[in-house]
Amino acid sequence: MEGKDKYPLITVLMPCFNAEKYVEQAVDSILNQTYSNLEVLCIDDGSQDETLVILERLKKKDARLRIIRNEQNLKLITTLNKGLKLAKGDYIARMDADDISYPHRIKLLYGFLINNNLDLASCNVDFLNMNGKRLGENYLKCHSQEEIELSSYFFTPIAHAAILVRKDVMMNHFYSTNEEALHVEDYELWTRMIRNGIKMSNLSDVLYSVRINDESVSSKFEHLQRSNFVKCGLEHQGSILGYEPEIKHARIAMNRINNASLSDMKKGFELIDEVYKKFCNGKESSQLRLIIILHKIDILINTIKLLNLVSKTWAVFKISGIIISNFGKSGVRSYLRHKL
């Protein structure tokens, strides 16, 4: 890339733990970026397989790879915070050791961040299975700062492993070590950043592949992750409403349903509308309304899958009404095609 002085050093922070099967492909994908002024900081978090051996071999081929070894497994959050302190770059990019970055990922995100005067940028992603087969593309519901802020009250609006962020922003927003942030460190971080006025947006391009791994946190600690997500979301919803909603209604509004009565389902939907009305403050837009419509569709689909016959019946009528009244909207039609 022309003139390294024009393009600042970017540190790619990649924690690695027992990642021998995928780490070489992940490292190669980030070293082969069209943006070349990189420091790829791989922190081996006490791996017990060949991860460190592979990293050392790759380092001999490319001096931009920097390896740190945790003598014992410090877990993800502590390792990420350690990496932030060790990073030499002016910007931080994230990368998981079993994922793949598209070749233009860093260059496009950097240009997007600079041109739009952002603090943090991410992008759309697609998904791979454990054998590398492409499973499909994520449907990105929120793009602009305003859309991300609204979405953050109900679901995670940013793809964590795909981010590019100013280092000074991260140095003021370390990952939380509180118990309530365990396994939802990204969602807790985004909501905290949003409340602190950090500027962020999503690029619609698919620039990153997330591997669906049976050993992932989402698979192994699903119950705790869901519980902590709701706790973080309660605090975030409370910040806009001025009171903390009932947890059973907030759980529905965040599509973290485990068991709910029909009455609770209705109150969960009322909570969504209350947050939306408070957020818009009389300045409703079609794109913000679309986010709410799509989110309600997701909740109703889960209701049909998970709850009792009464709630299922209500959900079928509700989703039918939403689809019929909004089918003229291209965003609704494209989302339904994606879901189906």
CA–CA distance, 128 with 39 (Å, rounded to integer): 26
User: What tokens does 245 get?
Assistant: 């909603």
pLDDT of residue 306: 87
CA–CA distance, 115 with 219 (Å, rounded to integer): 37
Beta carbons of 208 and 100 less than 8 angstroms apart:
yes
pLDDT of residue 327: 87
Q: CA dist 324 to 293, 321, 327, 332, Å?
A: 12, 5, 5, 10
Question: Which amino acid appears at position 300 of this protein?
Answer: L
The DSSP element (H or E) to which 121 belongs, if any, is strand 120-128
pLDDT of residue 209: 98
Q: What is the DSSP letter of 20?
A: T
pLDDT of residue 3: 44
pLDDT of residue 4: 47
| pTM of the complete model | 0.94
Return the bridge partners of 91, or none.
10, 166
Question: What are the residue ranges in the chain where pLDDT is below 70?
Answer: 1-5, 215-219
pLDDT of residue 217: 64
Q: What is the pLDDT of residues 115-127, one digit of tens each?
A: 999 999 999 999 9
Kindly list the structural domains of the chain, giving each domain's residue range(s) and its CATH number in brackets, ordered by start: 10-219 (3.90.550.10), 245-339 (no CATH)
DSSP 3-state assignment of 64? coil
